Amino acid sequence: MFFLTVLVLLLFNSNGVISLNSEGFALLSFKQSIYQDPEGSLSNWNSSDETPCSWNGVTCKELKVVSVSIPKKKLFGFLPSSLGSLSDLRHVNLRNNMFFGSLPSQLFQAQGLQSLVLYGNSLSGSLPNDIGKLKYLQTLDLSQNSFNGSIPISIVQCRRLRALDLSQNNFSGSLPDGFGSGFVSLEKLDLSFNKFNGSIPSDMGNLSSLQGTVDLSHNHFSGSIPASLGNLPEKVYIDLTYNNLSGPIPQTGALMNRGPTAFIGNPGLCGPPLKNPCSSETPNANAPSSIPFLPSNYPPQDLDNHGGKSVKERGLSKSAVIAIIVSDVIGICLVGLLFSYCYSRVCACGKDKDESDYVFDKRGKGRKECLCFRKDESETLSEHVEQYDLVPLDTQVTFDLDELLKASAFVLGKSGIGIVYKVVLEDGLTLAVRRLGEGGSQRFKEFQTEVEAIGKLRHPNIATLRAYYWSVDEKLLIYDYIPNGSLSTALHGKPGMVSFTPLSWTMRLKIIKGIAKGLVYLHEFSPKKYVHGDLKPSNILLGHNMEPYISDFGLGRLANIAGGSPTLQSNRITVEKPHEKQQKSAPSSEVAMVSATSMGSYYQAPEALKVVKPSQKWDVYSYGVILLEMITGRSPLVHVGTSEMDLVQWIQLCIEEQKPLADVLDPYLAPDVDKEEEIIAVLKIAMACVHNSSERRPTMRHVSDVLSRLVIPSD
């Protein structure tokens, strides 16, 4: 490869046109290693330029190449060693191309490398031991290639690593010593679909920064599951499926209360939550950690209370056999008497026409009615009969209540309207389940009408309600699981978050357009032309490709019917803002009040303080505040010196003082200054949406039409 670089230099010297710096020639060597470039991605990589800083996919800082990013361009070729000569190189992203061959060890001479993303190619060979030189490496994604061999032990020297994805390769061997204790900052770990073997390192429980799913599935790991895995963060989902693991499943920490989904495909595993009980010969089978949540009076499975010998060894005495037979006979007689009694009551009901209107109360609390149904009424629920089964809201729901209750569940968040869980069914389907509470409200018919109306909403930017469950003690709403959290977290992060990747302007604009489309659907095309009434970044969820989903629509109303005590009630909400406390009289008790310290209050339209019928212009105002938040990167409550004001007031003050856009713009958007015209256009839309007069605000249809003219650049 050195010869190729020299050849390139000689060629340009012979023509007398050499003007390119050394880093440019290193990249031209990279271009020479590309056999096919069907989209012309490297067409402007010309030797006549002084530097490569204007070339496609190349980013420079102080005329030094810091990033080479050419994803999804169908490039066919191999990786040259010349990339390692770029001394200031920080980021390499060549994902989803057609690179083949091995990973040159010279690449790791660029010791300042922070991210190496090569997934979705056809690279092969082993991972060079020189990987350990990358002391600043934070992201290593080699997934979906054909790499083989074992992971070099030197990788544990990459102590700043935050994301390690080696999935879907042919890596083998055991994990290196110190794997668990070396990566103190690791947040993402995916080793699935390889041929790793040996035991799972016991120190893996030290990876306290992990998030999401730790995926060790589809490998050849053997031995027992280390109990120390339970030390991982509680919300981490540990996928151990399809290995050769054996022994009891530890019931500690993050391993507790997991459904069978995480452990299937390991025939040697036993104990809860699997249906395969541990035998007495299984090592540690009788350890307390392997038997979760047994009541204090639960009888031993194998030993009696006297001698320590199993029942099979001692046998049953003659008196014990007689006692069992007598008790069985008595039980049969009691069942017969019960049926006789019920039959007589049913017949008595049939004789009295008035009594035929009675219904069966499943709770049996103080009700003397008998169980009577006419043939044409036997399948009809009275308004007083409570629903005790999962009710699907579309034909795609293939799971039942039993599957739902047995699934692995993880708390996603808590609010004034119940707890939200991530639920992973045994077949891998992931759902979000909101528990509304344990209120004993009897308003089932009202709840049913409301939830089924919400369940009919279908739009790419509206979170889909798939099913619900109602009983005296439990009310559940089952949604599609949306994986990338809320817009609020994407904009501002959250406490305890180790890493934070800010949203680019292109991504923000995509989200802005999606929210607008979802609101247009709610306002104009939904069956009742709904008002959301509680729109804010925390209830806008982001999908796999960061597409937005408006969630929590109608949630306050459902919580109120279900007997809970929601903090917010959608469509019937007013807010008292701090700067208006002295100007507004106390509102009617009909109106749900929200603490002024609640961030949700700053998204509410001014007229929501009055007892009026909810208007779609309430949503327009909330949308405008969200746009301002996405442009400025500020929270809806802005601190200015020792005082504070809401974001709308602050923006208005900045406009009056004619401050430059740079003073208002989110600092994370500094690299997007070339999008200034788009940002200003969106700012104008936002200011129209937050107009104090609802009549002067545009409709969401008009907003969406204007936004559609702003083109989102392709990747």
Distance CA 37, CA 43 (A): 9
Residue carrying the six token digits 């008292």: 576
Nearest partner of 543 among 440, 447, 464, 452, judged by Cα: 464
The two structure tokens encoding residue 87? 């001394």
The partner residues of 163 in beta bridges, in order of sequence, read 139, 188
CB of 680 within 8 A of CB of 647?
A: no
Query: For every residue of 611-647, which 3-state class applies, written as one string?
Result: CCCCCHHHHHHHHHHHHHHHHHCCCCEEEECCEEEEH
Distance CA 368, CA 153 (A): 74
DSSP line for 466-525: EEEEE-SS-EEEEEE--TT-BHHHHHH--TT-S---PPPHHHHHHHHHHHHHHHHIIIII
Q: Is the peptide bond between 636 and the residue preceding it cis, with omega within 30 degrees of 0? A: no
CB of 253 within 8 A of CB of 230?
A: yes
∠60-61-62 over CA atoms, to 5°? Answer: 115
CB of 347 within 8 A of CB of 324?
A: no
Distance CA 608, CA 331 (A): 64
Reported residue count of the chain is 715
Active site residues: 534
∠618-624-628 over CA atoms, to 5°? Answer: 150
Distance CA 282, CA 276 (A): 12
Distance CA 37, CA 42 (A): 7
Instruction: Please compute Rg for the chain using Cα positions.
Output: 32
Quickly count: other Cβ atoms within 10 Å of residue 657's Cβ: 8
What phi, psi does 430 have (nearest 5°)? -110, 135
The partner residues of 149 in beta bridges, in order of sequence, read 171
Where would I find the H helices in 352-406? 401-406
Residues 6+ apart with CB under 8 A from 677: none
Where would I find the H helices in 521-634? 555-562, 616-632
CB of 199 within 8 A of CB of 225?
A: no
DSSP SS3 for 8:
helix
Helices 505-520 and 700-708: crossing angle in degrees, nearest 10, is 140
What phi, psi does 72 have (nearest 5°)? 55, 45
Q: Kindly list the distances between the CA atom of residue 707 and the CA atoms of 307, 624, 627, 693, in Å, as whole numbers in the listed order.
A: 79, 13, 12, 22
The two structure tokens encoding residue 353? 């026409």
Quickly count: other Cβ atoms within 10 Å of residue 395's Cβ: 6
Q: Phi-psi region for residue 554, left (φ > 0), alpha (ψ -120 to 50) or beta?
A: left
Distance CA 555, CA 592 (A): 14
The partner residues of 521 in beta bridges, in order of sequence, read none
